Each structure stands twice: as structure tokens, then as C-alpha cells.
Chains A and B, each alone.
Chain A
Amino acid sequence: MTEITAKSIDEALRKQLDALETSVESREVGTVIQVGDGIARIDGLKDAMAGELLEFVSSEGHTVYGLAQNLEEEEVGAVLLGEVTTIKENDQVRTTGRIVEVPSGKEMIGRVVNPLGMPIDGKGPIKAEGMRPVEFRAPGVIERQGVCEPMQTGILAIDSMIPIGRGQRELIIGDRQTGKTSIIVDTIINQKGKDMICIYVAIGQKASTVAGLVETLERYGAMDYTIVVSASASDSAPLQYIAPMAGAAMGEFFMYNGADGKPASETNKGRHVLCIYDDLSKQAVAYRQMSLTLRRPPGREAYPGDIFYLHSRLLERAVKLSDKNGAGSLTALPVIETQAGDVSAYIPTNVISITDGQIFLVSDLFYQGQRPAVNVGISVSRVGGSAQIKAMKQVAGSLRLDLAAYRELQAFTQFGSDLDKATQQQLNRGARMTELLKQGRYVPMPVEEQAISIYAGGKGYLDDIPVSDVVRFRGELIDFLRGTRPEVLSAVATEKKFTDEIESDLNAAIETFKTQFAVSASE
């Protein structure tokens, strides 16, 4: 145990006192003209910069920070972050010369923080490695490279047909209660051991919902590589507004720096980051509230004119950096909640047009028991095959075709008996393939198991299995392979493609398994 002596106390105090700033500098000062609704109008501050951090000092001596937003001829409009009620008219405001920054670094991992990076999980203070600005210019074309590595979600329906690459921006869109957050949680859980830092940004959600999610992530060991940024529904609009940017800033630290904390380079590789913004429609609402109270002119649906710019500059920060810059990546999964499936509303159309694809979740499918309720017909990933391993590409093509044919013919199912054999066969296959895409929560599948499952379906091994047994068949087949033919699984995992040899081994294994698979009694 360390001995505490008068000398050590003296040294500790001296060290702290050495850090005291005793110099006096001239600073620009303004006065609060009006304050209310989390917004302050300030007289003076002629040199304030857009987005600059302002320091408000209340008459009682409290310091509250704000964000300069409107730079007008005679006054500055600012949004307040924190204890807004302590600020009154005639209080002083000072410029700081810097923009809002958040702490970042490895110490943040496993923590739940507010959008200013302050811990809210009761686990004590965070000794951050550095600070990063919440607003940061996205890298240019030269600094990037094309998306080339897969970001596996562990969800069969997504990884097979809507593959997401590291550095991509893939929108998750759907009505409330369609399983958007479930997909996200599964995706985070699936990143275990994949050298991916996950950042989950909860915007405008109930604190209890966020607590539940954190508990789930902890249960599955996912908090070891995850940071949760929470701006709950009770937080002020400015905090909800900066939350996604703060999350991106925390993620950028890992992307722009190597594992040693030094800037990434060809020799010091940057890390891979997955940033989830759940959800941007609530951020848009918070920004609308801020803009209207700042008296900015309202546009469509009363959103301000720069709402597109807000989302585009946030999502443009998702990137796959060039090898010269460390080859790190930041994958963005923004979430948008639609109202009654209306994707033609302002914010959904904006974000659809910004992102590199979208995963549509549909209430009807959800209530039919097709979970995850991904509508594979209208979901798309514009990065496509470059973010897939070859094995998945080999099998996913036929899956897409089978499902497309199935959807086309589905309208005729009511005349089942009048259909020719080939059509019936297509319907039969489609029903099984659709069933194959069903997946439980918190059970992400490794990509080789996904590929083998689809392979089995595509080769017709499921055609004589009752639809209700397809999911059980898939699970038991994987268990069988793990138990008796693990070399087949590992061959697919290492080769990343179906060679003739793997195919023949796999066919034999599936046929063996089929002989021992017991069909449910009810069928």
C-alpha cells in the first residue's frame, strides 16, 4: 500500500497548482438579450464563428456552454447545452475560439455517455486520450478507397441479399415496432472478435429503453467493444442534435488513429468502426425545434432548409480510408422511423438519397411472423457484391432470383391446383427460401453458416421439407456439420468460396443429415 506522507501531499498539490492558468487574456464579451426554450440571443460577439462554443456565465457564477448558430448583423443566436435555467438576461457570454469537442479514446469503450462525452453509467470519470471536434470535415476522394470489405451483420436476409461493406452508409428504415433496433443489436453482437468498434447513438429514446439495450449488450459481451451515446427524450433539443455528430467524432478517433493511439498510416493501421444513429428522424425533429426557436425560416414539413445538409455532412463522414491513410473505416447505419410506411416524407427521402442503400422493414411481414421483417424486394445495397465473400455471392444470386420469382407468382397461389408443375415448384421453393430467412433475436450467424444454409435451399434440399420445419432443419444441419463434419464449415470459412471439392463434401453431408432429419408430426 502506498504510504501517504506530508511530502507526497505537498508534491501532489504543487503538481495540481502548476496546472493553474494565471495569465489574463482579452476575450470578446457579449450580453444575453433574451433567453428561453434553450435558445439565447446575444448582443455583441461580432467575431463569433458559426458553430463556435460559447461560454455563458450566470450572475450566480455558473458556467453553461452554448453553440453559436445564427450569426446576424446585430446579434448572435445560440443554443444552450446543459443547465439552461441558470442563464438570464444581461448575463455575460464569452467566445472560446473553439468548436464543441468530445472526449475520445479507448477509455470510452464499454461506457455509456451523454452527447458531451460525460459518463452517465455511474462507473466513474473517463480519462480520455484526446478530444475530437463534433463537426469534422469528411475526407475527400483522394483520401478514400472503394468499399471492399464486408461488415457482417450476422443476419441471413441482410448479409446474403443486402450486403453491407465497411465504410458504407446503409439506412435502416421502417415503421415503429418493425424490429429496427433488433437488427442493430444483432449486428453489434455479431461484431465480437471482428476488430470492430461499435458506437450506438440513441437519440430521443426513453432512458429505460437505452438501459435495456445496454443490459442486452452486456449480457452478450458486446459492451467490450461498444460505446453508447445517449441523448434521451428528456434531454434538450441541442443535445439530441449534436448526439450523432458526437458519436461520429468518437468513432473517428479509432479510424484516424492506430491501436497505439498514434495517427494511422500505411504501417500503423486505423481501426474499423460501426456507427449507428438510432434514429435520425428524432434528430431532425430536435433540429427543427432548435431552428424554429432560432427563428430560421421553416421549409417543407417545417424543417429548416439545411436539414439535408445536416444529414449529408454527417453521413459523408462514413468512409473507407485509403491504405496510405491507414485503411480504417467508419460504417454508418442510420435509422429512420416512418409513419404508416410513408417513405415519401421529407426526412426519409432525404436520407434514402444520401445513403448507399436501405433495408426496408415492413409491419405486415413482421406480423406475419417473417422476422427480421426485411422486405428484400425493395431493400438494396448499392455497394453490392464487393462487400461479400465469394461463397455468399455464389449462392445469393440464386436466392434473389428464387424470391423474385416467388413474389411474382405469389398472386396465383389461390389457384394452386390449376398451376403447372414448374410454377408449383417455383412457389414451393420460394416459400422455403422465404422461411429460411427467418432468424431469432440475438443469434447472429457466421457467414459460412449463412452460405451453407442458402446453398442447401438453392440446391433443392429443402424442397421436400415442410415449410414449418425449414428453420429447424437449418439449425440442426449446422449443428450436424459442427459435430460431424466441422472440416466442411472451416473449409468454407477459409476458402471463402464453394469449390467443387467443398460442394461434393457438402452435398454428401447434407444428404446424410437428411436421412436422419425427423419431419414434424403435424405435417
Chain B
Amino acid sequence: MPINRQVVKKKIAAYASLLLDGAFASGGQEAAVQVRDELEALVRYTRESLELANALDDKRYTPEQHKAIMVNVLTGLGVTPLLVEALAVMAQRGDFSLVSRVWASYTEQLEQRFDLNIVDVTTAVPLDDGLRQLISEKAAADLGTRVVLREHIDRSILGGIIMSARGRRIDASIRSHLEGARRTLKQSQMEVKASD
């Protein structure tokens, strides 16, 4: 029987709220942000892991077995115990497919509760304190709230910076600039050929 989407929304919000309360109780804002990062990594992992998705979808397994599968997988990944427990419950109740929406709701609630914005910053080399300060100030001015930077290192961007917040992204990486240059040069080369 189809479930009302409002009910599903409430369910997602409840999972997210429980996780946030648990995380905050265990270590304050820093722990809450840490759980958000881990949850994001898990969402990416589950999207790529077809075996896990199939196992959790398999009706031949009992809810308890689904829970056990989830506990085994997450323990192997070294995830925070709170997250293991919450996701195991979701798997047991057949709600694991909602995990990416739980992550989105969790981030929203986290930002609301602490009146901040989480900004993901990707650079090719680690940020130094000065740059970190500069980025924080710039982002805070743009977004109008306190910001928490989540730093990621990705050498493939070659240089520059990529910043993401509230579903939008500013890509000022060397890689994307080079890609833009490649396209422009290719386009103008094609135009020259065509005019010949």
C-alpha cells in the first residue's frame, strides 16, 4: 500500500532529529558535524554498492538479518557507533532507501539548530590558517550566517578551490578552468576550420 509522502517526510525528519540529538549529546556541535560527514560518505558508498542495496532489498532475509548485514558493513567501515545503531534500525524497518533524504534533513536541522552553514571546501593541498580564515569570512559574508568549513583534499583539481553550500557550488579550480580553456580553443578551432 502506498504511504502518504507527508508521513514519509515526518519519518525522515524523525530519523534525522534522533541522530542529531544523539550526536549532539555525545560531543556537541563538532560531533554533530562529524556525523553529517560520515553520513554523507555512507550515502555515496551505498549508491555505488549494488550488493548492499540488493541485500537490503531482498525479501528472503528477515528484518533482523537486514539489521545484522548493516551492522557488519558499517562496523567494517569504522563508522561512529551512534550512526551504526541508527542505520541498523532503518535497515531493520526497511527504510534504508531513505538514507540520502535523512542526510539532507539532518544537514538542514543541523544548520537550523546551530544557525550556521556548512561549506564544503575542496582544495588540491591542505589549507593554511590564513586561507581558512579568509574563506570563512568570505563565506560568512556571502551566506549571512556563521559557517563551518569541511575541508577535502582532491589532488585531481590541480589547484584553486571548489566551494559547495546549500546545493550550489562555486568551482574555481584549475581543472575546470583548463577544461573551459580546452573547450573554447576547440570551439574556435572548429570555427576556423568551418570558415576555411
What residues of chain A have their CB less than 8 Å away from a CB belonging to chain B?
15-16, 19-22, 24-34, 43-46, 61, 63, 73-74, 88-90, 94, 107, 124-127
Which of B44, B48, B170, B194 sits near A124, CB closer than 8 Å? B194
CB–CB B167/A33 < 8 A: no
Flag whether B185 is at the interface (Cβ < 8 A).
Answer: yes
A32 to B177, CA, bound (A): 23
CB–CB A89/B164 < 8 A: no
CB–CB A28/B168 < 8 A: yes
A22 to B181, CA, bound (A): 9
CB–CB B167/A46 < 8 A: yes
Q: Which of B143-196 contact A (CB under 8 A)?
A: 164, 167-172, 175, 177, 179-181, 184-185, 187-188, 190-191, 193-195
CB–CB A61/B168 < 8 A: no
CB–CB A90/B185 < 8 A: no
A248 to B48, CA, bound (A): 40
A380 to B184, CA, bound (A): 52
CB–CB A44/B44 < 8 A: no
Contacts A20-B181, A24-B171, A24-B172 supplied; 6 other A-B pairs, CB < 8 Å? A19-B184, A28-B168, A29-B169, A34-B47, A44-B167, A125-B190
CB–CB A89/B181 < 8 A: no
CB–CB A33/B164 < 8 A: no
Which of A29, A34, A90 sits near B164, CB closer than 8 Å? A29
A74 to B170, CA, bound (A): 22
Closest B residue by C-beta to A88: B48
For this complex, 13 residue pairs linking A to B, each with C-beta atoms less than 8 Å apart, are A20-B184, A26-B169, A27-B168, A27-B171, A29-B167, A29-B169, A30-B167, A31-B47, A43-B100, A90-B44, A107-B194, A124-B194, A125-B190
CB contacts (< 8 Å) of A73 on chain B: these are 5
Flag whether B101 is at the interface (Cβ < 8 A).
Answer: yes
CB contacts (< 8 Å) of A44 on chain B: these are 167
A25 to B180, CA, bound (A): 13
CB–CB B184/A16 < 8 A: yes
Closest A residue by C-beta to B164: A29
What are the 10 A-B residue pairs with the smallest beta carbon separation, nearest first?
A127-B194, A29-B169, A125-B190, A24-B172, A89-B47, A125-B194, A16-B188, A26-B168, A26-B170, A19-B184
**Contact flag A29-B168 (CB < 8 Å), given A20-B180, A22-B177, A90-B48:** yes
CB–CB B184/A74 < 8 A: no
User: In the assembled complex, how far is the CB of residue B36 from the closest CB belonging to chain A, in whole angstroms?
Assistant: 16
User: In the assembled complex, how far is the CB of residue B125 from the closest CB belonging to chain A, in whole angstroms?
Assistant: 19
CB–CB B193/A125 < 8 A: yes
Closest B residue by C-beta to A46: B167
Closest B residue by C-beta to A74: B101
CB contacts (< 8 Å) of A94 on chain B: these are 169
CB contacts (< 8 Å) of B184 on chain A: these are 16, 19-21
CB–CB B185/A27 < 8 A: no
CB contacts (< 8 Å) of B44 on chain A: these are 31, 90
CB–CB A27/B194 < 8 A: no
CB contacts (< 8 Å) of B172 on chain A: these are 24
A44 to B166, CA, bound (A): 10
Closest A residue by C-beta to B187: A19
A337 to B191, CA, bound (A): 40
User: In the assembled complex, how far is the CB of residue B72 from the closest CB belonging to chain A, in whole angstroms?
Assistant: 22
A44 to B171, CA, bound (A): 17
A107 to B191, CA, bound (A): 12
CB contacts (< 8 Å) of B48 on chain A: these are 88-90
CB contacts (< 8 Å) of A127 on chain B: these are 190-191, 194-195
CB–CB B170/A24 < 8 A: yes
CB–CB B171/A33 < 8 A: no
A53 to B172, CA, bound (A): 22
CB contacts (< 8 Å) of A30 on chain B: these are 167
User: In the assembled complex, how far is the CB of residue A12 from the closest CB belonging to chain B, in whole angstroms?
Assistant: 8
Interface-central residue, B47, B180, B195, by most chain A CB under 10 Å = B47
Closest B residue by C-beta to A127: B194
Which of B164, B177, B185, B193 sits near A16, CB closer than 8 Å? B185
CB contacts (< 8 Å) of A61 on chain B: these are 175, 179
A22 to B169, CA, bound (A): 16
CB contacts (< 8 Å) of B185 on chain A: these are 16
CB contacts (< 8 Å) of A26 on chain B: these are 168-170
A16 to B181, CA, bound (A): 9
